Structure 1
Amino acid sequence: MIEIGLGCGMPYGPGASYPIWTTYFPNIQLNIVEYDETCGSAWAAQNPEAVIFFGDQSSVPFLHHVGAEVTADRLVDIIVDDGGHTMDQQTTSLRELWSYLRPGGVYFAEDLQTSFMDNYGGDSSRANLTKKTFIRWIHELVDDIMAAPAGVASHNAWASEIANIDCMAEMCALTKKEKGAR
């Protein structure tokens, strides 16, 4: 599993999800992506079994480094993006980490209300249709999935690998198709 965002700088503090993951998945191999090295290192000293990668989730080379390190022996089952929540961070993380997710695996993107918050690069007016927010990109991916049976070209070539997209308040889960699935 890869989790983007340890929770540094949040009121609940770093590592709040860690006990949940280890309780529900006792054999989990948890790999955390965190931007704040000072906070993350202090937390890691208390939790040496967790693997932490320090860097910017909007950096393509960094994400490929994380993906290559984490998947040296197998692809991951789950990716959770609870990181910085800017449009660039959310879209880059999904686009670049998707190939490291195993068929049947699930990618969770959280706090998607930031697509409507200007300070995250979102569009609070909902009127600027040229502004590419994460939610607009999710809509585009849904369009790609729905248009494929009609023979309409996809805007995102990898959309053909998506089995389904499930969204609810503030989050979406994208499931990768199993090998051989249509």
Structure 2
Amino acid sequence: MKDELRELYNSVQEKASDKWSLYIDIYSKEFKSYKDKNISLCEIGIQNGGSLDIWSKYFNNIHKILGCDINPLCGDLKFDNKNIKVIVNDANKNSTKKEIEDFFDKGIDIFIDDGSHISSDIIKSFLLYFEMINEGGLYIAEDLHCSYWKEFEGGISDPDSSINFFKTLADIINHEHWGIAKSKNELLNHYTERYSIHIKDEILEKIHSIKFYNSVCIIEKKKTEKNILGPRIICQGKELAASLSKVNMTSIPYDQNDNFWSSFSEPLGVEYINKTEQLVRNEKLLDETRKEILLLKSKNEILEKEISIIKNTGLFKLKILIDNFWKKNEK
């Protein structure tokens, strides 16, 4: 069976484009069910615009394609397909989001973030644009290998890296099993407050699945009712090893309010950073207090010496006065 997407990338196109080899394999599989549908696609980070041309050829009934890039030279790109539009601006600016919303009057089916690869940009883009994805659509973040590098605001244990943000979203999917009174968006408070972008619970509850590939994360969006665990389905038959007659037909979570590991208000990495910073502040305060105590001790020693001198000087003068008194009386 031929791989049409790889054939397009292996052929000479009018405009250059590059994707890592694995990405082409991933997209050939993930985009298969969308190939003949009337879809809209948005891509952040388009370089020479070659990928937009390829998408217009790969999808048979593409409705609209929009590419967004901060490079001013992208404004000179021309396309034969009139359904392709390019915006030259920062995708995470509100004015750009509004322009993209206006262009996709019926929402977005496939969103590809191939922009700066900086963690803060990737997280902000998801918080801004996931609500625009149609039910049944895909949100894709590329080149997440950058999230392991400090040059892109990352690190393997950095709670603010893009890959760790997407790992947090995996907990959102399992919200009904948390066993604590905490909303989905509360779990993301650290990020939404950091970037001043609010995302509603009713949007987060439409996350159906999160797939991690090497350097790629794909988030599928579906109707809320498609994302709950649902009732237990029992295939009737002989129960030779375990009785199923008294099992719960719905999932009931254990109460986790007294679970230490469920008590954190922020991601564990953030809690660690906050506690470490607090510890540093406390140690600094303790050090300053020690210095103040030493200074007070030093001042106290000086005062004690001065008092001693005064006392000794006074006694000496008193002795002289007494001696002089007796000498006068003896005469």
**Fold agreement, TM-score > 0.5:** yes
Instruction: Check the 8 A contact 2:75/2:87 in 1, yes or no.
Output: no
State how 1:33-72 maps to structure 2 within 5 Å: 33-37=68-72, 39-44=73-78, 46-47=79-80, 49=82, 50-59=84-93, 61-72=94-105
| Deviation digits for residues 114-158 of structure 1 (CA, Å, limit 9, x no counterpart) | 1111111112xx34x4x4111111111112222433444221434
State how 1:50-129 maps to structure 2 within 5 Å: 50-59=84-93, 61-72=94-105, 74-123=106-155, 126-127=156-157, 129=158
Q: Which has the higher contact order (CA 8 A, sep 6+)?
A: 1
Counterpart secondary structure, 2:146: helix
Give the alignment partner of residue 167 of structure 1, picking from 192, 201, 212.
212
TM-score normalised by length of structure 2 = 0.47
CA distance in 2, matches of 1:107, 1:56: 18
CA distance in 2, matches of 1:34, 1:98: 19
| Deviation digits for residues 70-107 of structure 1 (CA, Å, limit 9, x no counterpart) | 232x1111101111111111011111001111011000
Partner of 1:21: 55
- Give the structure with higher Rg (CA): 2
Instruction: Check the 8 A contact 1:63/1:93 in 2, yes or no.
Output: no
Partner of 1:141: 169
Percent of pairs with identical residues: 23
Relative to its length, the structure with more strand (as a share) is 1
Instruction: Check the 8 A contact 1:106/1:176 in 2, yes or no.
Output: yes
Identify unmatched segments of 5+ residues in structure 1: 8-13
Q: 1:63 Cα deviation (Å)? A: 4.3
RMSD: 1.9
Q: 1:18 Cα deviation (Å)? A: 2.3
TM-score normalised by length of structure 1 = 0.83
CA distance in 1, matches of 2:118, 2:70: 13
Instruction: Check the 8 A contact 1:114/1:122 in 2, yes or no.
Output: yes
Counterpart secondary structure, 2:43: strand
